[in-house]
Amino acid sequence: MVPDNPKPSITIIWFKRDFRLRDHEPLFRAVEAKENILPLFCWEPSLIEDPHMDVRHWRFVQQSIDDINNQLPAPARILTLHCEVIDAFKFIARYYTISAVRSYQEIGLKVTHNRDVEVANYLNNRNIALKESQFGAVIRGLPHRARWQSNWEHHFTTSTYDFDINSANWVAWTQHAAINDAEKNFDDIAGDRASISRQFDPYSVYETNLRPEVIA
């Protein structure tokens, strides 16, 4: 039986380090396919705790998010949650049916590699499509660099992925009071502390309704 008010189907655009609206393939593909787009960024405790990260990095992230939000047509904006990514998906799934997750393939830290493996397994087990766009010439998981030159030439000769932001189907998630209440910016989670990675426990300000043990 179909429920009287089925949850709207959406595509999550998961922002990692790719804070831009121009030349953004995951966004371009979602707009091209006329998908309902919910942009998401997570203040992940596992990354906040990582010694590679510093308060300057997170300040830059917040400034980048603010810049994007200033460009987006109202009421669209990036949803920012203070939790791990899988927990964010579980939370959003209370209000929407997640049909797909689009993102760039991240390269770099082991903690993000492990995170991406867990996310891929989680989505695969729930038949949610994960569509990752290549970030550059380096492809995560390859055991060699044999085709690096050809990958580089292909990537940097490909046309840019630009679209009209006013033509996108942005999800109006701000209509949900619970989602609005859960949204957190950098100042909400960091306060006046001078350092994130070494001077405070992110779980001490972890939102109760987003804790893993609370989310089914």
Domain boundaries, the chain: 9-210
**Cα 197 to Cα 139: distance, rounded to the nearest angstrom:** 28
CA 33/CA 9 separation, integer angstroms: 13
Class of domain 9-210: alpha beta
Q: What is the mean pLDDT of residues 193-209?
A: 43
Average pLDDT of 196-208? 43
Write a three-state SS string for the chain.
Answer: CCCCCCCCEEEEEECCCCCCCCCCHHHHHHHHCCCEEEEEEECCHHHHCCCCCCHHHHHHHHHHHHHHHHHCCCCCCCEEECCCHHHHHHHHCCCCEEEEEEEECCCCCHHHHHHHHHHHHHHHHCCCEEEEECCCCCCCCCCCCCCHHHHHHHHHHCCCCCCCHHHCEECCHHHCHHHHHHECCHHHHHCCCCCCCCCCCHHHHCCHHHCCCCCC
Mean pLDDT, rounded, for 168-192: 92
Q: Is the pLDDT of residue 5 over 80?
A: no
* Residue carrying the six token digits 């990582």: 50
- Look at residue 114 in the predicted model and tell me its pLDDT: 94
pLDDT value at 146 more than 90: no
Please report, rounded to a whole number, the percentage of residues in the chain having pLDDT higher than 90: 64
56's tokens: 């300057």
Task: Quote the pLDDT of residue 160.
Answer: 83
pLDDT in tens, 67-77: 999 999 999 99
Looking at per-residue confidence, does 154 or 55 come out higher?
55
- At 197, which amino acid appears? S
